[in-house]
Structure 1
């Protein structure tokens, strides 16, 4: 009896699950601009976006038609511009912005605004620290020892 009930439950779950389809989107000239999985009319799972040249512009995951998880953004030469976390279409947690070949900034986000710290690195060495409150710069330090003194509870 338990086996039959379990089998019926599994069958119901499988039937009620809407299947995913792989979708490709094209511009007016026929060039591929996006591709990924859809569940019904909503984007789901991994998606890729392209420049007209065919180079990847962005890639990341959707859940219920909203960006979720880790995303990557590139320029037209395939150079990584930024990467970071989304939750329900909102930037959250740490994002990395690549300013140049040897300079990057790690920035904390909450609900799509800078909230927390921004750490600027040159040649992988920390050279500046900023603090953001509701997307506004509220402090800046070029002396890391002074930053640590002023922010003893800072956690990265």
Structure 2
């Protein structure tokens, strides 16, 4: 009986071991790297384009994206960044232009616009929209008109 318990404990420890994994394509170019536990992605991961440039980076929990992620263009420029919860985009997401300046930012819930979207031109806020479950409820063409009808604390 004691041998069986020791064997079970040893087997559980071996199979539950956390390891760092690097994955390569057929040409030995790295395509991803990160932590694996129980055959699931956990903790921090990085993914790469075929040219070796970083494509995206962020955290996993039980094979689902979680916490904060960043996405890059094939040229290495920041494209977008934001929060994941249980594998879905949630909270504020920032989207960048080719010069890595914020183009717009939106509140999302379960991958869908839900809340405010703010549009920028040369880092200046130029318009805003409000969404509920992906449907546009209202749009303001100036920040002044937006401020008249909304509380800035809603943007947190």
Please confirm whether the aligned pair reaches a TM-score higher than 0.5, indicating the same fold.
yes
Deviation at 1:139, TM superposition (A): 1.6
Structure 1 segments, 4+ long, off by >4 Å, are none
In structure 2, the gaps of 5 or more residues are 1-12
- The answer as to 2:121 corresponding to 1:122 is yes
Match for residue 99 of structure 1?
A: 97
State the TM-score, normalizing by the size of structure 2: 0.83
State the TM-score, normalizing by the size of structure 1: 0.83
- The answer as to 2:130 corresponding to 1:149 is no
User: Which range moves more in the overlay, 66-75 or 23-32?
Assistant: 23-32
- Deviations, residues 50-75 of structure 1 (Å, cap 9, x unaligned): 00110000000001111000000000
Match for residue 139 of structure 2?
A: 140
Return the alpha-carbon distance in structure 2 between the equivalents of residues 16 and 76 of structure 1: 38
Kept in 2, the 8 Å contact 1:114–1:134? The answer is yes
Kept in 2, the 8 Å contact 1:148–1:154? The answer is no
RMSD: 2.2
Distance 1:53 1:110, change over 3 A: same
Return the alpha-carbon distance in structure 2 between the equivalents of residues 153 and 75 of structure 1: 32
In structure 1, the gaps of 5 or more residues are 1-14
- Deviations, residues 98-152 of structure 1 (Å, cap 9, x unaligned): 1342452110011111100001122322111111121122221122221122334
Tell me the secondary structure at the aligned position of residue 155 of structure 1: helix
Count of residues in Structure 1 that have an aligned counterpart in Structure 2: 144
Return the alpha-carbon distance in structure 2 between the equivalents of residues 64 and 32 of structure 1: 22
